[in-house]
């Protein structure tokens, strides 16, 4: 069967005046319009295409790359708004429809929103929704504490930033642990810091625990050597200043310089840290 809203590997069956007809293993066919056909494509070849619905809700194939696929999340821009809902640019000829009932707040032309793409069971149409919470899974966890994960920032709250974790779970980045500018729609790497009750995920942008201290200590040493043996950072420096200079948290910074101090590699003063002269 054809997978609507997803990539399909299909075989070229025949060429017509309107394009090539492709088929799956069960013999179901879909049209690849002329505008997507290249000279290299031949009858009998198996090609990778994205299958979606055209303006008449008929399956159609394309070699274009959409910005979102079915059952995943992405940040998209609104191109138009009508009496029925909003239309988003997802990289294909036909815009992606977001009904008013699927908008967490009224969408505006030119604005960007994180949405989820799904196949509506009633209408058999591909629709997007900005009501992100209802599409996130919390009962069956696929991550563990310490895991590196992919993040998509989708909402700013009083506590920090809600993020989509691995296109599957909801996570929280606490504001007091974020020392860089984040925007809705940003994609970045992070780590599962803690799993709380009801499988709520606390996320960090840095590894936690001892394993991060040693490489961070080396980064501090490299920076000290680059700056002629002095960095104007100390225990009293703000987390923001430390992150801006070294891209690590204050907690990791303190552990790292503590280890370097015990080894006699640096000395710590009120105005910063100094590389001990090895002579």
CATH code of the domain in which 219 resides: 1.10.10.10
92 and 125 share one domain:
yes
Q: Is the pTM of this model over 0.75?
A: yes
Q: Does a structural domain hold residue 141? A: no
The answer to whether 262 touches 276, Cβ cutoff 8 Å, is no
| Spatial separation of the C-alpha atoms in residues 135 and 11, rounded to whole Å | 33
Per-residue pLDDT of the chain (279 residues; tens, 9 = 90+): 899 999 999 999 999 999 999 999 999 999 999 999 999 999 999 999 999 999 888 999 999 999 999 999 999 999 999 999 999 999 999 999 999 999 999 999 999 999 999 999 888 899 999 999 999 998 899 999 989 999 999 999 999 999 999 999 999 999 888 877 899 999 999 999 999 999 999 998 877 654 555 678 888 888 888 888 899 998 888 888 888 888 888 888 888 888 888 878 888 988 899 988 754
Q: Does a structural domain hold residue 67? A: no
93 and 45 share one domain:
no
CA atoms in the 13 A half-sphere facing the CB of 279? 1
126 and 171 share one domain:
no
Q: Does a structural domain hold residue 140? A: no
196 and 217 share one domain:
no
> Which of 39, 62, 85 is the C-terminal boundary of a domain?
62
The answer to whether 38 touches 70, Cβ cutoff 8 Å, is no
179 and 217 share one domain:
no
Q: Does a structural domain hold residue 121? A: yes
> Which of 125, 128, 127 has its CA nearest to residue 58?
125
80 and 129 share one domain:
yes
197 and 215 share one domain:
no
| Spatial separation of the C-alpha atoms in residues 127 and 117, rounded to whole Å | 6
The answer to whether 156 touches 149, Cβ cutoff 8 Å, is no
The total domain count for the chain is 4
Phi, then psi, of 234 in degrees rounded to 5: -150, -175
Q: Does a structural domain hold residue 186? A: yes
The answer to whether 153 touches 186, Cβ cutoff 8 Å, is yes
| Spatial separation of the C-alpha atoms in residues 275 and 279, rounded to whole Å | 12
The answer to whether 206 touches 243, Cβ cutoff 8 Å, is no
10 and 57 share one domain:
yes
Instruction: Using alpha carbons, list the distances in angstroms from residue 110 to 76, 107, 196.
Output: 10, 9, 37
Nearest-10 Cα torsion for 113, 130, 195, 190: -20
DSSP state at residue 111: -
127 and 175 share one domain:
no
Specify the pLDDT at position 77: 98
265 and 220 share one domain:
yes
The answer to whether 116 touches 125, Cβ cutoff 8 Å, is no
Domain that holds residue 79: 73-133
Query: For tokens 């506590």, what's the residue?
Result: 159
Q: Does a structural domain hold residue 103? A: yes
Q: Does a structural domain hold residue 53? A: yes
> Which of 62, 89, 109 is the C-terminal boundary of a domain?
62
| Spatial separation of the C-alpha atoms in residues 39 and 57, rounded to whole Å | 28
CATH code of the domain in which 114 resides: 2.40.50.140
DSSP 203-229: EESS--SGGGHHHHHHHHHHHHHHTTT
CATH code of the domain in which 27 resides: 2.40.50.330
Q: Does a structural domain hold residue 197? A: yes
163 and 193 share one domain:
yes
């Amino acid at each position: 069967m054809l997978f609507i809203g997803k990539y399909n590997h299909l075989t070229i069956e025949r060429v017509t005046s309107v394009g090539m007809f492709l088929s799956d293993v069960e013999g179901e066919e879909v049209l690849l319009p002329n505008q997507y056909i290249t000279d290299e494509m031949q009858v009998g070849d198996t090609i990778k295409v994205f299958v979606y619905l055209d303006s008449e809700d008929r399956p159609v194939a394309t070699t274009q790359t959409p910005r979102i696929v079915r059952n995943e999340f992405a940040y998209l821009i609104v191109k138009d708004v009508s009496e029925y809902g909003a239309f988003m640019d997802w990289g294909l000829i036909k815009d992606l429809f977001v009904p008013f009932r699927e908008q967490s707040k009224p969408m505006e032309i030119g604005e960007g929103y994180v949405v989820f793409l799904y196949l509506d069971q009633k209408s058999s149409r591909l629709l997007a929704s900005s009501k992100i919470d209802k599409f996130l899974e919390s009962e069956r966890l696929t991550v563990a504490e310490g895991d590196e994960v992919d993040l998509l920032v989708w909402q700013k709250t009083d506590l920090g930033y809600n993020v989509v974790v691995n296109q599957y779970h909801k996570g929280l980045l606490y504001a007091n642990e974020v020392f860089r500018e984040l925007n809705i729609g940003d994609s970045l790497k992070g780590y599962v810091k803690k799993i709380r009750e009801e499988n709520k995920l606390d996320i960090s942008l840095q590894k936690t625990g001892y394993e991060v201290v040693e490489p961070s200590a080396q980064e501090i040493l490299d920076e000290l050597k680059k700056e002629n043996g002095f960095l104007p950072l100390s225990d009293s420096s703000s987390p923001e200043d430390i992150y801006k200079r070294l891209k690590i948290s204050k907690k990791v910074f303190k552990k790292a310089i503590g280890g370097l101090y015990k080894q006699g590699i640096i000395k710590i003063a009120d105005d910063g840290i100094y590389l001990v002269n090895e002579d």
